[in-house]
Every structure is written in structure tokens, then in C-alpha cells.
């Protein structure tokens, strides 16, 4: 579903409605928040609740790892060294 709006090289997704996740580099917590609550700014509106439970966790983990954003709550961001 994400590829319909977002660009993410690791998922071979190229879209222009939502922000490029490669450029935004969201951490897991930000991805989970967007999945749960949605977003309403920019070119479109992302509905909340697109994924729930383990599916939401899996998506958030994938995106954060793919963009190299491994920020922990209360910590600072660091880039992962690869796959």
C-alpha cells in the first residue's frame, strides 16, 4: 500500500503523492505514528490504520532499516552499516 504514494528505493517504489521515505528517513516510531494516526499535509492525505499490530511493526521496521534510521526513543539517530 505504501508504494501507491511513497518513494522507497528498497521496495522499488516510486510515487509522488506522499513524501519520499528515502529523503525523509523516518525512524520506526515516526512510521508507526503515521500508520496509526495518518497524515494530512502535503499533496495528499494518508488514512490512519492502514496496518495494525504485527503488520504495522513489520512495515515500520522495514522502512526504518531501509532508510538507515535506527533512532531509539530518547536517543540519537544512527545510520546502519548495511543489511
- Record the pTM: 0.77
pLDDT digits (tens, 9 = 90+) for 54-65: 999 999 999 999
Question: Where is pLDDT greater, at 25 or 75?
Answer: 25
Q: Supply 69's cell numbers.
A: 534510521
| 3-state class (DSSP) for residue 9 | helix
Residue tagged 522502512 (cell numbers): 63
- How far is Cα 81 from Cα 43, in angstroms, rounded to an integer? 33
The CA distance from 14 to 20, in Å, is 8
CA distance 47 to 10: 23
Amino acid at each position: 500500500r505504501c508504494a501507491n504514494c511513497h518513494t522507497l528505493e528498497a521496495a522499488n517504489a516510486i510515487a509522488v503523492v506522499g513524501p519520499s521515505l528515502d529523503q525523509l528517513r523516518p525512524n520506526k516510531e515516526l512510521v508507526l505514528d503515521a500508520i496509526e494516526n495518518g497524515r494530512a499535509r502535503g499533496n495528499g492525505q494518508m488514512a490512519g490504520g492502514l496496518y495494525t499490530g504485527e503488520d504495522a511493526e513489520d512495515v515500520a521496521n522495514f522502512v526504518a532499516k531501509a532508510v538507515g534510521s535506527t533512532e531509539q526513543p530518547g536517543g540519537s539517530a544512527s545510520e546502519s552499516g548495511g543489511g
